[in-house]
A and B are shown apart, each in its own frame.
Chain A
Amino acid sequence: MVHTFRCLGRYFALDVESGSLFEVDELTANLIEKRSPLATAKGDFSRYNDAEIAEAESEIDELIRRGVLFAPEPVHPEPVYKGVVKALCLNIAHGCNLRCRYCFAGDGQYHGDLDFMSTETAKNAIDFLISKSGGRKRLEVDFFGGEPLLNMKTVRATIDYARKVEKEAGKEFRFTITTNASLLTDELIDYFNREMYNVVLSIDGRKEVHDYMRPDASGKGSFDKSLENSLRLVRSRVGKSYYVRGTFTAHNLDFAKDVLALNDYGFGQVSMEPVVLPDGDPLAIRAEHLEELKWQYELLAKEYIARRAAGKEFGFFHFNIDIYNGPCASKRLVGCNAGDEYLAIAPNGNIYPCHRFDGIEEYVIGNVNDGTFDNSLPTLFATTNLTKKEECNGCWAKYYCSGGCAANSIQICGGIKKAYKVGCELMRKRVECALAIGAIESEGREGERSE
């Protein structure tokens, strides 16, 4: 399968199975498209002479001969459940000091009572992770909520315990914390810079957007505090990983302005995610929004290239695709590995396929406090990889999204094999932009890549 596309005023061709990427002229893009078994239109070549067409056809034939265009799909191994866990999301607090309008977790309480994870449960979670990690050396723990800063006692106890046992267990823990930053102090910033491999700071972009979407419990906007604290953290982080992460909704379809605003505030590493809500929610992204949103990604890509070319630090999570040396094929078939190698733990110790399932009774896998663990759901998630999702198999972007988010498929579309189509459209546009950016930014750097 080959995907031809136009982005940023240029034409590209992506060979899906080999991952090969080409910039082509319009004639060649149309000729490649014409050869696709799925092509319906055969193209209008009346403005080209026969010699030009023959020359382009010959170049296409050469790429096919080299196996980098229309490469056949390899036979992927049948997915099996191995029972290995390497990453946990610890929902350290079912509670939050903010009242974000789009919160999937219902004001951070996951549709239940206010609850905080005890240090004992957190230690049991670390023991559970080590015992399930098999030969994996690097283990990941994400402190999530709700707002995890409401329960720093357990965060600190978890890290102390993990650091105490990791060497003997032959493991290396990497911690991430996701916070709204409104409660950050200088002491916490120092602590995070020492202990957190990654920090994710939630800010939605422009002040007016953020304050409307992310008020505190009294209804007051949280922007000023979150921005001030986040900037203090980022300025002191010096080379360590962080992301400022926002959510856009139907309320701010011009979200490119929010991404650029975050960069203008002084954040070099930015992510901005489309909200996922049921279609009836007034903030939900719906099919009629897609054309505007795709245009926004293109606008963002153009400015992204310009700022980076001018020497400004600007990373955008979804544009950050390594076009030369991304993940291996095995990784591309399994995605985030939710329900299999990646699980979430609720404050009461319940184990879920991921944070998005927390609080849904039928998705309880077991509990780290009583040692129960039922393989049924992990087996289902592990064996439903990309190759088992029929709607994804014909999609050119399949090796970049790996079949998408299982929670979106189940909770929005009603089945783990179903595709969340609004998300698919946005994913495809983001990948097109990322590939185009990669190609454009590679110009003049050909000699640098000799690894």
Chain B
Amino acid sequence: MKHVKVIATETICNEKGTGCGECQTGCQSACKTSCTVGNQSCEQKKTNRTTKVKQD
């Protein structure tokens, strides 16, 4: 593509098996005042989740 550079696609995982609840709660890290969930890491990502990037 000439006008669009694909950085990452379909990064929000809705698949079966997610929502295990083993990840860190947002407020246990460093914020304590402004909940930021986007930067929490997934405890399963090294096991059964897949990544789709750079499909072009």
List residues of chain A with CB within 8 A of the CB of B32: 178, 200, 245, 273, 355
Q: Give the A-B contact count at a CB cut-off of 8 A.
A: 219
B12 touches A273 (CB 8 A): no
A438 touches B30 (CB 8 A): no
Given A19-B12, A55-B3, A323-B11, are A245 and B30 also a contact pair (CB < 8 Å)? Answer: yes
Query: Which of B13, B18, B25, B40 neighbours the largest number of chain A CB atoms within 10 Å of its CB?
Result: B25
For window 324-348 of A, CB contacts with B under 8 Å fall at 324-332, 335-338, 341-342
Q: Does A140 make an interface contact (CB < 8 A)? A: yes
List residues of chain B with CB within 8 A of the CB of A24: 3-5
Q: Does A404 make an interface contact (CB < 8 A)? A: yes
List residues of chain A with CB within 8 A of the CB of B27: 87, 89, 142, 336, 338, 342, 354-355
Contact string against B for A residues 43-77, beta-carbon threshold 8 Å, 1 for contact and 0 otherwise:
00000000000011001101100111000001000
A18 touches B11 (CB 8 A): yes
Give Cα A439 to B34, complex, Å. 24
For window 1-48 of B, CB contacts with A under 8 Å fall at 1-14, 18-19, 21-43, 45-46
Give Cα A313 to B3, complex, Å. 33
Given A136-B22, A137-B22, A451-B50, are A142 and B11 also a contact pair (CB < 8 Å)? Answer: no
Contact string against B for A residues 170-185, beta-carbon threshold 8 Å, 1 for contact and 0 otherwise:
0000101010000000
Identify which of A117-125, A156-164, A207-215, A314-322 touches chain B.
A314-322
Given A331-B19, A342-B27, are A20 and B40 also a contact pair (CB < 8 Å)? Answer: no
B35 touches A322 (CB 8 A): no
Q: Does A261 make an interface contact (CB < 8 A)? A: no
Which of A59, A67, A325, A405 interacts with B45 by CB under 8 Å? A325
Given A27-B3, A59-B2, A431-B38, are A136 and B25 also a contact pair (CB < 8 Å)? Answer: no
Q: Does A276 make an interface contact (CB < 8 A)? A: yes
Identify which of A222-230, A294-302, A371-379, A394-402 touches chain B.
A394-402
A22 touches B6 (CB 8 A): yes
A402 touches B37 (CB 8 A): yes
Query: Which of A13, A104, A317 neighbours the largest number of chain B CB atoms within 10 Å of its CB?
Result: A317
A440 to chain B, nearest CB (A): 10
Query: Which of B23, B29, B35, B54 neighbours the largest number of chain A CB atoms within 10 Å of its CB?
Result: B35
Give Cα A403 to B46, complex, Å. 27
Q: Does A416 make an interface contact (CB < 8 A)? A: no
Give Cα A138 to B22, complex, Å. 6
A321 touches B39 (CB 8 A): yes
List residues of chain B with CB within 8 A of the CB of A1: none
Give Cα A56 to B54, complex, Å. 19
Q: Does A274 make an interface contact (CB < 8 A)? A: yes
List residues of chain B with CB within 8 A of the CB of A275: 33
Given A28-B3, A449-B54, are A68 and B9 also a contact pair (CB < 8 Å)? Answer: yes
In the complex formed, the residue of B with least CB distance to A423 is B34
Give Cα A251 to B52, complex, Å. 44
A274 touches B34 (CB 8 A): yes
List residues of chain A with CB within 8 A of the CB of B10: 18-20, 67-68
A273 touches B31 (CB 8 A): yes
Give Cα A334 to B18, complex, Å. 13
List residues of chain B with CB within 8 A of the CB of A431: 38
List residues of chain B with CB within 8 A of the CB of A326: 11-12, 38-42
A331 touches B37 (CB 8 A): yes
List residues of chain B with CB within 8 A of the CB of A404: 34-35
B18 to chain A, nearest CB (A): 3
A324 touches B25 (CB 8 A): no
Given A56-B3, A332-B12, A451-B50, are A140 and B25 also a contact pair (CB < 8 Å)? Answer: yes
Name 14 interchain pairs, CB-CB below 8 A, sorted by A.
A20-B8, A21-B8, A22-B6, A27-B3, A59-B2, A140-B24, A324-B51, A326-B38, A328-B12, A331-B40, A335-B26, A427-B36, A439-B7, A449-B51
**Other 5 A-B pairs with CB < 8 A, given A20-B10, A325-B49:** A23-B7, A59-B3, A87-B25, A331-B19, A400-B37
Q: Taking beta carbons and an 8 Å cutoff, which residues of A are in contact with B?
A: 12-13, 17-25, 27-28, 55-56, 59-60, 62-63, 66-68, 74, 84, 86-87, 89, 104, 136-138, 140, 142, 174, 176, 178, 198, 200, 243, 245, 247, 271, 273-276, 317-318, 320-332, 335-338, 341-342, 354-355, 399-405, 408, 423, 426-427, 430-431, 434, 438-439, 442, 446, 449, 451
